[in-house]
Structure 1
Amino acid sequence: MAEELADRLRDADVGVETEHRHIDRPILSGAAGGLLTDHELAVLRLFARGRGQAEIAEALRISPETAGCLLHRARVVLRARTLAHAVALGGENGLLERPRG
């Protein structure tokens, strides 16, 4: 997207340079590169199993607002467009498996 915009600006004779500061970082590795907290993983796992925000809050003994914030952060960290997309990414990368122990 950035390159497309830069190309259009260059075509309009606007001087522009692009820099991709995170280009070398992996999209996901392990538990989202260690970026998802245990709480974020827990809410994402419950959401993936069909629980709503209020049910997640009750199960984890947190407020519904906190559950919503954790779901939002998990979506952002996974670079997902929607929560359903976050679940799909989590499943593809083994994040939704129940922890052993």
Structure 2
Amino acid sequence: MNLRGNFKATSTEVVFKFAFSSRNIPFSEIEYAACEVKQNVLRRGIPVSYCTELIIKNKSETFTVNDVLEVSSNDVLNNRKAYEEKLSAHQFTRLAEYINSHIHINKRV
């Protein structure tokens, strides 16, 4: 199921909201955050689409969410600069960088 949601990051946690539920993840519990690109191939004749997967890992679980990455196969294969620019500007890439920069600060406190 593909639930649309949103997120908010503060100086101490990130909060994800989906429909009628929410998930608070304090930075002090996070080991790392990463953003990966996944291919979605439905069937022959349909263009390949891409999504970003935000991965947040703590000691007891791995939390993942996906979002569309607006790139073409041509960008991925032949125009790496455009691909890298779109990926670095994506909200999940920026959020993973933000989380990683804050988890070390919050673990020292």
Scaled by the length of structure 2, the TM-score of the pair is 0.26
Higher Rg: 1
**Higher helix fraction (1 or 2):** 1
Scaled by the length of structure 1, the TM-score of the pair is 0.28
